Amino acid sequence: MTATDRHSLSIAGADRDAARGYDRYVAEFLSYGSNLRDLFAVADANPGAPLLSAHAAALHMAFEGAEGWTAAGPCLDRMRAARKDASAREQLFCDAVEAWSLKRFRAAFNALDELTVRWPADLCALKWGQYHAFNLGDRHALLRLAQRARVVHEGAPYAHGMIAFALEQNHRLDEAEEDGLRATEIAIDDAWAHHAVAHVMETQGRARDGARWLDRCAHTWEKKGVFIRDHNWWHAALFSLALGREQDALGIYDARLWGAWPEFPQEQIGAVSMLWRLDLRGIDVGARWTPVVEQARARAGEHLFPFHDLHYVYAIARAGEAGEAEAFLSSLRAHADAQEGEAALVWRETCLPAAEAIVDFLAGACDAAARKLAWIAPRLHRIGGSHAQRHIFEETRIACRRGGALDGTIPDGKTEGGETGRRSAR
């Protein structure tokens, strides 16, 4: 039994109802909808369809926490049992998911890269490929996949948001803005296109334009998934900071950046990222660190993504208990030492010295922190994340040169509530 999706691509082991369920999932995935979990029931009801189980496993692992790998286990088992009947395209997607399950992220990307060369009509695979390229810090691959999307999906909803973000990450800003605006003409709720245009405006220093742009788009985010809703509001808070409206940024943090799903790693790192920026500006964030550091503490031994770890270590060094930051670094060193190939370069030569720099900075050892941050700067893209997200390391390096935070203070000591206090760096 083989059905086809809306692009006439085969789905082995699926009937017409299952194919329609898959199409609904793809639409939700590309649009960052809030009903992605509906795929799990479709996959459960069709255990003989390896592609459906592979996508279900991918969704679980895209949670980006250890429990996602645990939840993916039954989906992976079904995929392995049924994949003998899969088409060549489906086999490649299963290969990608298998590699992903082993945390071999480059191999996962390579399988998706091959798949989308041969079947560029598979826009969902193109999107998953961009997901891995982004986490690998490979902007060229991000753009290569976007160019394939243009070949088959010119004018299609959500394709141009993918193209726009890839162009922005490759510094082709005018083209990125053009594609992002076109994307919103095709589908006004293309939240990834909203995000891409915000990146252009942030990069160009157009904070007022960016704030107005996101304000016009925000009404479409309420029906979106937590990730894009949180992240686009994070960009809105970033524009508030650029405009000197720190209290507005705090208001966005309280209303939009923390509390929807505190266990979600993307919400955790978004919260850390904003509180870190507020720290560097000398803004009193009160007790906001307390629940965030509790979640970071729970992630301390996972070491799944270097970008995540660098935010977790900041939270722990900033507001954790005595000795916790050193324990995190010790665990991180052991993980880095166990890596091979490209992963070893990322974890040993970029993530570990960056983590050490963060701990040095928060301990007041600004000279040591500045040296390490300067050394890793040319290779920092390896940790993943966007230019805007990684700019926090440059802001921290600037703070180091000034002897503390951007306002001349550094975190030090503990208040009665367990929050890190502040003292003058001078």
* DSSP codes of every residue in 292-311: HHHHHHHTTTT---HHHHHH
Q: Confidence band (pLDDT; 50, 70, 90) for 353?
A: very high
Amino acid 1: pLDDT: 81
What does the block give as tokens for 95? 């290969």
Amino acid 360: pLDDT: 97
Amino acid 402: pLDDT: 85
Amino acid 5: pLDDT: 97
Query: pTM for the full model?
Result: 0.94
Q: How many C-beta neighbours within 10 Å does residue 171 have?
A: 11
Amino acid 199: pLDDT: 98
Q: Confidence band (pLDDT; 50, 70, 90) for 169?
A: very high
Mean pLDDT calculated for residue range 17-21? 98
Is pLDDT of 421 > 50? Answer: no
Beta bridge mates, 10: 4
Is pLDDT of 332 > 80? Answer: yes
Q: Confidence band (pLDDT; 50, 70, 90) for 406?
A: low
Amino acid 43: pLDDT: 98
User: 381, 326, 382, 333: which is closest to 353 by C-alpha?
Assistant: 333
Is pLDDT of 84 > 70? Answer: yes
Q: Confidence band (pLDDT; 50, 70, 90) for 420?
A: very low
Mean pLDDT calculated for residue range 64-81? 98
What does the block give as tokens for 391? 């700019």
User: 391, 4, 27, 28: which is closest to 235 by C-alpha?
Assistant: 391
Is pLDDT of 416 > 50? Answer: no
Q: How many C-beta neighbours within 10 Å does residue 235 have?
A: 23
Amino acid 423: pLDDT: 28
Percentage, residues of the chain above pLDDT 70: 95
User: 47, 44, 68: which is closest to 58 by C-alpha?
Assistant: 68
Beta bridge mates, 422: 411
Amino acid 407: pLDDT: 54
What does the block give as tokens for 406? 């951007």
Mean pLDDT calculated for residue range 84-103? 98
Is pLDDT of 425 > 50? Answer: no
Mean pLDDT calculated for residue range 142-157? 97
Is pLDDT of 347 > 90? Answer: yes
Going from N- to C-terminal start, the domains of the chain cover 258-426
* Distance (Å, whole) CA 368 – CA 372: 6
Q: pLDDT tens-digit profile of 245-303?
A: 999 999 999 999 999 999 999 999 999 999 999 999 999 999 999 999 999 999 999 99
Mean pLDDT calculated for residue range 103-122? 98
Average pLDDT, the chain: 94
